[in-house]
Amino acid sequence: MRTLLLVGGVDDTLVAAKELGLRVLLLQHPTKITNRQRELADVVEVLDYTDWTLTAPVVTRLHQQWRIDQVVSLTEPGLDIAARSRDLLGLGGTTYPVSRRFRDKLAMRRHLVRRDADAVAATPLHDFDDLRAFGARHGYPFVVKPTAATASIGVFRVDDPSGHEHVWEQVCRLRGTRTDRVSTLLVLDDFLMEEYVHGREFSVETFSFAGRHVVVTITEKMTDPGHFAELGHAVPARLTEDAWDRVGECVGTLLDHLEFTDGPCHTEVRLSGTRARIIESHHRYGGDAIPELVRAVYGIDLDRLAVGWPFGLVDPLPDSPAPRGGGCVRAVVGTPGRVLSVDGVEEALRQPDVLAVRISARPGDEVRPLRDNWDRLGLVAVTGPTATAAAVRGAQVIDEFIRIRIADDRGEVRLARAAEIAEVSGVVG
């Protein structure tokens, strides 16, 4: 029996690995372990796997006991640890230096600018004067963000010099924290500044097979110009064939530059005029129920591909798949206040076109103004005959079934709602 060491992750990844007949050794963080994972995994080690000094001895011991054949992680905090484990055991696959090019956004920018004269400019943010210098050199607006984080945590848009003081205060407050609102395995430490790229934003799910990059889908990202929270995702993105090809080619070039050859990637791109420009990339699949949309619309299980490909247990995709309808994720949001009650989740899940309902809000939780993904109250993922139809249906499911009651500071009670988005129609080219 072949042995997989899985670093972090969700239940679906273990299910896929066991269905493929793999022995699974799971390294899981104490805050993330589930009963289902304990049932599925052959061996479970619960520890703060993000600390390599703790993890390396465990990996060595497990290899001596079980002879690990490959190491996989599909969660952001586990990617570097998986790479270091592969390097330690001499297993091949994505190495730690390649992993760091993805995980460290400044390292990625520096690596790309040496290979592409049109790459987005970026520099580290060390002190207040750096903000003035970057604005003077590259103009406004520009973006400040952590070098390693997810879900738009700690991302700020600086529109003019008057915003320097506020952004610097926020950066100083966040440095060294695990964010001020949620439990996460990622520490906000270093920050960078980068040029702001205008245009519509898309995310690209790819899977690479021995250096051949296949676009699984391009997802249309629904955002608001006032903040960086993601309000929804629609697949397939409504792009002209030419625009689809430009985005796919841009991402393929990026992965070649980063020397990535095997596995899933989730890359964020903006169409700025006729050019596709890279925002950032991650060598894992996307979150926010995007894998569920891919499975429903394309019949492709990204978990099965990710754990099966290193063992030769799945066939490579010959080309980009054709969609069978559309899908959409819609975010649940609310007015500032405090959550009184949460109802309707099970009823929503029983609807035949609903793929996932994930509500993070709990009674007593504070509801904050939208700044990033952690300010959302949850999401609903649905299918439909088209992406447009699915977007409409997602809002209907939230409004009809999800009942999150929120009291504001005056005691007035309101219900959570589907986040407002621009009309999902038309083709971008």
Summarised one tens digit per residue, pLDDT across range 362-399 is 999 999 888 878 889 999 999 999 999 999 999 999 99
Summarize the confidence of residues 301-322 as an average pLDDT: 97
pLDDT at 180: 47
In a domain, 426, yes or no: no
Q: How far apart are CA 284 and CA 292, in angstroms?
A: 15
Q: 185 and 151 in one domain?
A: yes
Closest of 196, 229, 243 to residue 373, by C-alpha: 229
Q: 208 and 300 in one domain?
A: yes
pLDDT at 182: 47
Q: 215 and 295 in one domain?
A: yes
pLDDT at 328: 96
Q: 208 and 284 in one domain?
A: yes
Closest of 352, 410, 343 to residue 378, by C-alpha: 343
- Number of structural domains in the chain: 4
pLDDT at 429: 52
Residue ending a domain, among 195, 218, 242, is: 195
Q: 204 and 190 in one domain?
A: no
Residue ending a domain, among 249, 281, 311, is: 311
Residue-wise pLDDT tens digits, 71-85:
999 999 999 999 999
What Rg do the C-alpha atoms of the chain give, in angstroms?
21
339 is in which domain, residue-wise?
A: 326-418
Q: What residues have CB less than 8 Å from 133, skipping those under 6 apart?
A: none
In a domain, 28, yes or no: yes
Examine the pLDDT at 224 and tell me if it is beyond 80: no
Q: 213 and 186 in one domain?
A: no
Q: Which 3 state secondary structure label does DSSP give 160?
A: coil
Neighbours of 35 (CB within 10 A): 8
- Report the chain's terminal Cα–Cα distance, integer Å: 49
In a domain, 317, yes or no: no
Q: 189 and 210 in one domain?
A: no
Q: How far apart are CA 419 and CA 334, in angstroms?
A: 8
Q: 229 and 296 in one domain?
A: yes
Whether 339 and 365 have beta carbons less than 8 Å apart is answered as yes
Summarize the confidence of residues 130-154 as an average pLDDT: 85
Question: At what angle are helices 105-113 and 241-257 packed, to 10 degrees?
Answer: 100
Whichever domain contains 231, its CATH number is: 3.30.470.20
In a domain, 427, yes or no: no
Residue-wise pLDDT tens digits, 279-293:
999 999 998 899 999
Q: How far apart are CA 239 and CA 246, in angstroms?
A: 10
- pTM to 2 decimal places: 0.90
The dihedral built from the CA positions of residue 254, 259, 261 and 267, taken in this order, carries a sign that is negative
Whether 145 and 154 have beta carbons less than 8 Å apart is answered as yes
Whichever domain contains 148, its CATH number is: 3.30.1490.20
Summarize the confidence of residues 226-254 as an average pLDDT: 90
- State the pairing for strand pair 403-407/413-415: antiparallel
Strands (DSSP E) contained in 255-395 are 263-272, 275-282, 326-333, 337-343, 354-359, 366-367, 378-384
| pLDDT, mean over the chain | 91
Rounded (5°) CA angle 395-205-26: 95
- Split at pLDDT 50, 70, 90, the class of 425 is very low
In a domain, 286, yes or no: yes
In a domain, 80, yes or no: yes
